[in-house]
Every structure is written in C-alpha cells, then in structure tokens.
C-alpha cells in the first residue's frame, strides 16, 4: 500500500482535476441549454466561456460567498436607515467609483466596452436592503434586463422588511441564494408601506 506525503498529494491532484472535469461538463451542458449568452457581435464563444469558467474558479469561489454588508444596517436600526425615505441615495457610490468596476468585470468576462449599455453593475445585496455600497464582494455584472427584474423584487423585499413581514436577514438571503426564485415567489405579493 502506498503511503506518505506523495500519496496524499496525488489524491489531491486527481480530486482537483476531476472537479474541473465535472465543472467543464456542467458548463458545456448549461451552454447548450441556456440563452443568456448573447448572440450576435457580442457573443461569447463556447470555448472562451469554458476557459473563463475553469481559470476563474478561485475568484468565483470568493465571489460566491456571502457579500459584504453595511454594518450600520441591522434589524434594530431599520427605521433610521433603509426604511427612512431617501436613505439609499445618501450612501450610493457615484458612477466615478462604480464605472471602473463595471468595465473591469466586463473585461474579465470578455465583453467589449461597446456593449456597456447592455450590462449593469449590480449590488448583490441591494444597498436598500443593507448591502455594502462599496465592497467588491457585493458587486456583480448582470444584463440590463435581469438587473431591471432584480430591482423590482428588491423593492418588494424592502417593503416586506419595513412592514416587519420579513426579517432583514431573510430578505438578504433571498437575494444571495436565488433572487430569480424570490421574484417568482414574491412578485405578485401585495405590500403597502404606511
């Protein structure tokens, strides 16, 4: 029986390789089934998409963690922060801060700057729901259409939080775990703030 450090290193190596193979297969399958990768002059080729997916694994693992939160926004400070009219505008960063981040993300994804209007830099957890305004871990690139859809559900979740029908932490988790699922669950929900 083989033992020693080289044995464990070889196991780690093959585990790493097999993980990449599984991800490559999943990415290939997803590529053939989904339409979110644009067609036309701004298309991302399948090979480029797969290469980005594999090479960016460490960065993706970091970005997929829970986004940074604004420490000033807590369940016991709602009325002084996010539930106060106009609060988001007081902490939202300017485009001089966000545009360079957007262009960097576009470059990393292989999207040309000419397509900038088709994409939006999104706060993974909205500022209006206690997401950090400036921390990189709270940013992601979304298509403009998806960003508009996500913004609508953020308004509903904010209403639910401010009427005490949903805890702040749950609303934040809804956005991080599956905002599209949250849209399906709450889009028709009637919420009115007095």
- pLDDT at site 7: 41
Rounded alpha-carbon distances, angstroms, from residue 191 to 128, 157, 164: 16, 9, 11
Question: For the chain, what is the mean pLDDT?
Answer: 77
The kind and range of the H/E element at 83 are: none
pLDDT, tens digit (0-9, with 9 covering 90-100), for 20-47: 444 444 444 443 333 344 444 444 444 4
Phi and psi angles of residue 120, each rounded to the nearest 5 degrees, phi first: -130, 140
pLDDT, tens digit (0-9, with 9 covering 90-100), for 101-146: 999 999 999 999 999 999 999 999 999 999 999 999 999 999 999 9
Q: Which one, of 158, 60, 141, 68, lies nearest residue 105 by Cα?
A: 141
Q: How far is the C-alpha of 31 from the C-alpha of 168, rounded, in Å?
A: 35
Give the residues across from 80 on adjacent strands: none
Q: How far is the C-alpha of 154 from the C-alpha of 83, rounded, in Å?
A: 13
């Amino acid at each position: 029986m083989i033992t020693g450090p080289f044995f464990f290193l070889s196991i780690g190596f093959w585990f790493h390789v097999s993980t990449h193979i599984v991800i490559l297969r999943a990415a290939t399958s997803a590529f053939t089934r989904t339409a979110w990768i644009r067609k036309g002059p701004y298309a991302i080729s399948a090979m480029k998409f797969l290469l980005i997916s594999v090479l960016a694994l460490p960065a993706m693992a970091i970005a997929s963690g829970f986004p940074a939160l604004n420490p000033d926004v807590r369940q016991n400070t709602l009325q002084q922060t996010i539930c106060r009219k106009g609060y988001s505008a007081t902490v939202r960063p300017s485009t001089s801060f966000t545009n360079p981040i957007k262009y960097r993300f576009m470059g990393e994804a292989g999207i040309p700057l000419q397509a900038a209007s088709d994409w939006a830099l999104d706060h993974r957890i909205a500022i209006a729901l206690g997401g950090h305004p400036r921390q990189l871990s709270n940013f992601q690139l979304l298509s403009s259409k998806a960003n508009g859809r996500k913004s609508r559900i953020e308004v509903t979740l904010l209403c639910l939080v401010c009427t005490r029908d949903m805890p702040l932490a749950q609303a934040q988790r809804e956005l991080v775990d599956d905002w599209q699922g949250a849209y399906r669950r709450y889009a028709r929900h009637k919420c009115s703030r007095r």
